[in-house]
Each structure stands twice: as structure tokens, then as C-alpha cells.
Amino acid sequence: MPATVLIVANDKEVTNHLATFFNKKEFSILTAHSGRQALAQAKARLPDAIVLDATSPRLSVKRLVRSLHRGSHPLMFLLAQNPNRIEGGSNGAVVLPRATTPKKLSQRVRTALDNRPPRELKVGVLTLNVERRRVARGNRAHKLTPKEFELLRVFMTHAGQIVSRKTLMQEIWHTDYLGDTRTLDVHMRWLREKIEDDPNAPRLLVTVRGEGYRLETK
């Protein structure tokens, strides 16, 4: 199955030019020409890798990189005029000189994809398919909504640890406001309905009174 790569730049000529250097048998190419388009494409198509032209004048690069890294955690490549100046805001992305040839860029993306870890998370009886946003438990599998997926991803990457409600509101809803967390309660209920035998008596995703929640590892 071809890897999906999203190329983001204000200039359509840039995206079209870069796209021509990605072998169509190996890659399925998406393009976006604004931050809003990039986020919409990333949410809908869950790309394996994202190439972002950090020299594009109308892109808020740091904010966009943080937002794109959420969810399915694609590999990120930034093209910058001065890579040393953007390192601090790369958020784990690979930063390359803007002068990197398209052919070399496509080779770097291919190599990184070949060496990436499996896009599944496994904790106890649960398996989370990051690409499809599906969780499986035994013979049961469920498609997750974006928020359910992000919640479960946080719990699985912190399995066995207590995750506070404040952390979840910050990570998933991007707010420090804890005055009304009913939306968190609703999404926790929906998630438990998909992974628990009895959502009213959870044994996998348990509540730690006064502290938060913990995903059990057994």
C-alpha cells in the first residue's frame, strides 16, 4: 500500500513540483496551500509523512507543526532557508535546507518511512491502529472518533500511569479551563463503551478518585 505524503506550501507551483519527484507506485500525494487546508487533509486522510515549506510567508509554522503532530503522529519534514534558526520550533520534525533537491527529499522521506516504528500501539488486550483510528480487543474492533482516538492514544502511551483530567483537557481540548469538563466525561463514556465489557464497571480504563484515570496494563 503506498505511503500517503502531504505536501504543504502556499505556492501551488512548489507543491506540484515537489510532488513530481515522489514515485506514484510508492506514494500517494496530497497537497495543501494553507494551514487550514493542511489540518483538514491531515485529519481526514491521516498522512504517513508531511513535508512543510517553512519559507511560505502565510503559514504559522510553529503552530501548524504542533497541530499536525497531534492525532496520528506523522513524520514531519520542514524545508527552511536557515535550518539552525528553526530547530527550536521543529517539535521533533526533520529540518532540511530549502535548497535540498526534490529527489533527495523524496529519498529522505522514503528512508524515514521504511525505518519508522509500527503504527500500532498495544497495551494488554488492546491494539490501536493509528492509521485507521481503530481499536481492537480480541475479535471486537471499533472505529474511534478523533477525540476518542486522541484520548486512547494518550492513555496507551502512558499505560499504567495516572493521567489527570487537567492533562487530558490540555492535550485533547487545548485548554487549561477546568470549570466544565462534561465533554470529557461524555467522551470517556463513549470510549469505555468501545473497550470495556461493562462500561459501568470499567476494568481497563479505571478512575483514580481525585487524581484522574489509568489504563491498566494487564
Q: What are the pLDDT tens digits along the chain (218 aa)?
A: 688 999 999 999 999 999 999 988 889 999 999 999 998 888 777 788 999 998 888 778 778 887 877 655 678 898 988 767 665 455 668 889 989 999 999 999 999 988 886 678 899 999 999 878 899 998 899 999 989 998 998 899 899 999 999 999 988 887 888 888 899 999 999 999 999 999 999 999 999 999 999 999 98
Find the Cα–Cα–Cα–Cα dihedral 109, 136, 215, 168, rounded to 10°.
Answer: 60
Residue span(s) of the chain under CATH 3.40.50.2300 come to: 3-115
Any residues with CB less than 8 A from the CB of 131 and at least 6 apart, and which? Answer: 46, 48, 72, 119
Q: To which CATH superfamily is domain 3-115 assigned?
A: Response regulator (3.40.50.2300)
- Rounded Cα distance between 152 and 168, Å, is 10
As a whole number of angstroms, the longest Cα–Cα distance in the chain is 57
Q: Which pLDDT score is estimated for 66?
A: 78
- Rounded Cα distance between 136 and 134, Å, is 7
For 63, the grid coordinates are: 503552530
> What radius of gyration, in Å, describes the C-alpha atoms of the chain?
19
Residue span(s) of the chain under CATH 1.10.10.10 come to: 120-215
**What length is written for the chain?**
218
CATH code assigned to 120-215: 1.10.10.10
pTM (two decimals): 0.58
Segments in 20-172 forming alpha helices (H): 35-45, 61-69, 83-86, 102-115, 146-157, 165-172
- Rounded Cα distance between 97 and 54, Å, is 10
